[in-house]
Amino acid sequence: MPPPLQTPTVVTQRAAIRDRIIEARRSGLRVGIVPTMGALHAGHLSLVQASTEQCDRTVVSIFVNPTQFLPGEDYQRYPRTIDGDLAKLAQLDVDAVFAPTVQELYRPQHSTFVEPPTVASGWEGVHRPGHFRGVVTVVVKLFHAMPADLAFLGQKDYQQARVVEQVVEELDIPIQIQVCPTVRESDGLAMSSRNAYLNANQRRQALGLVTALRTARDLVQRGQREVQLLKDAMHSTLEQHGIRRFDYATLVHPLTMDELQRVEDSAVAIVAAHVGNTRLIDNLCVDVDR
Ligand code: AMP
């Protein structure tokens, strides 16, 4: 490993990170932020790298946001690896890490939530009711605490990125959103902090998600346009990988996220499936060659 550039400064107070960013911008520097829940992997680090390439200062936030987890989900056991995360960020040119406590970000009787936009209503919105309400609320709070020029998000959470883009536009939040490509393991599995939950057998089964997406993409490229048939092929691919429970596997419009009947030009194949007790999501952009 190359020697550390510099261990980022850890800031836990909202006012302190806000002042730091405002001061940097006042002196003419361009500031990028990368909001995360920690347990950093190469997918997160690619966002950090995109920010360090395009901005003078990069701030990474690490906050496991309780309001976006549903009762019974993995909030308590979500991996928290702050020391390892800081060591990884020390290899990159990160100015500061904003790592607030829950009490710092949410007041004791917090009761204000932001109603998510229409693009949040399907898919994750159906299968994790309330999830996007928590995401949108924390994103607005984080964007207030970190008033940067740019925010870097991952395509891995495609619907979340669309939701955040819509919120920023409709609530006039002065920040530019940049969505960066999904980083995958060498066999294609999308990197995710939740992959740490998988045992060896489940890790093999998890490949069913990306294989289903690639099956749909390959069929489209070979001329198949009927979404029902593409869905059937995705479903059988999941089943062939031993995945018996999936929430959805289909093709949607890239902006509205409405399910398509036919693929006319561009589409996004999306999937959410349960592997053991772990729920995984993935997606792939599918373009029709003309
Ligand atoms: P999370 O820590 O899961 O909330 O993710 C923080 C950010 O990293 C989000 O914008 C995610 O979309 C992004 N991200 C997560 N996994 C990946 C990946 N495999 N490739 C690219 N971005 C990712």
CA end-to-end span of the chain, whole Å?
Answer: 45
From ligand 1's centre to the CA of 31, what distance in Å? Answer: 19
- What is the Cα 194 distance to its own chain's centre? 12
Residue 164 CB less than 6 A away from ligand 1: no
pLDDT digit string (tens) for 162-208?
A: 999 999 999 999 999 999 999 999 999 999 999 999 999 999 999 99
From ligand 1's centre to the CA of 177, what distance in Å? Answer: 14
pLDDT digit string (tens) for 20-55?
A: 999 999 999 999 999 999 999 999 999 999 999 999
From ligand 1's centre to the CA of 79, what distance in Å? Answer: 14
Residue 131 CB less than 6 A away from ligand 1: no
Residue 1: predicted pLDDT: 60
Atom of ligand 1 nearest to the CA of 44: 8
Residue 183 CB less than 6 A away from ligand 1: yes
- What is the Cα 282 distance to its own chain's centre? 10
Angle between helices 227-240 and 200-221 (to 10 degrees): 160
| Gap between the Cα atoms of 35 and 139, Å rounded | 8
Mutate to test the pocket of ligand 1, among 67, 85, 88, 157 (most ligand atoms within 8 A of CB): 157
Whole-prediction pTM value? 0.97
Residue 185 sits at φ, ψ, to 5 deg, of -70, 170
The tokens of 109 are what? 């009787």
pLDDT digit string (tens) for 87-122?
A: 999 999 999 999 999 999 999 999 999 999 999 999
| Gap between the Cα atoms of 234 and 241, Å rounded | 11
Residue 2: predicted pLDDT: 64
In whole numbers, what is the pLDDT of the chain averaged over residues?
Answer: 97
**Listed range (1-5, 117-121, 232-236, 252-256) with the worst mean pLDDT:** 1-5
Please return the burial class of 23, using the count of CB atoms within 10 Å of its CB with bins 0-12, 13-18 and 19+. Answer: exposed
From ligand 1's centre to the CA of 238, what distance in Å? Answer: 23
Total Cβ atoms within 10 A of residue 55: 21
CA dihedral 51, 53, 59, 64 (to 10 degrees): 40
The tokens of 235 are what? 């479903």
Residue 96 CB less than 6 A away from ligand 1: no
From ligand 1's centre to the CA of 103, what distance in Å? Answer: 24
Can 44 be counted among the known catalytic residues? yes
pLDDT digit string (tens) for 196-221?
A: 999 999 999 999 999 999 999 999 99
Find residue 282's DSSP bridge partners.
271
Nearest to residue 279, comparing CAs of 62, 74, 116?
A: 74
Q: In this structure, are strands 278-287 and 266-275 parallel, antiparallel, or unpaired?
A: antiparallel
Catalytic pick among 41, 44, 127, 274:
44
| Long-range pairs for 128-135: beta carbons < 8 A, 24 or more residues apart | 128/70, 128/73, 129/70, 130/70, 131/68, 131/69, 131/70, 132/68, 132/160, 132/163, 133/67, 133/68, 134/65, 134/66, 134/67, 134/68, 134/69, 135/65, 135/68, 135/160, 135/163, 135/164
| Gap between the Cα atoms of 73 and 206, Å rounded | 19
Total Cβ atoms within 10 A of residue 31: 25
Residue 6: predicted pLDDT: 80
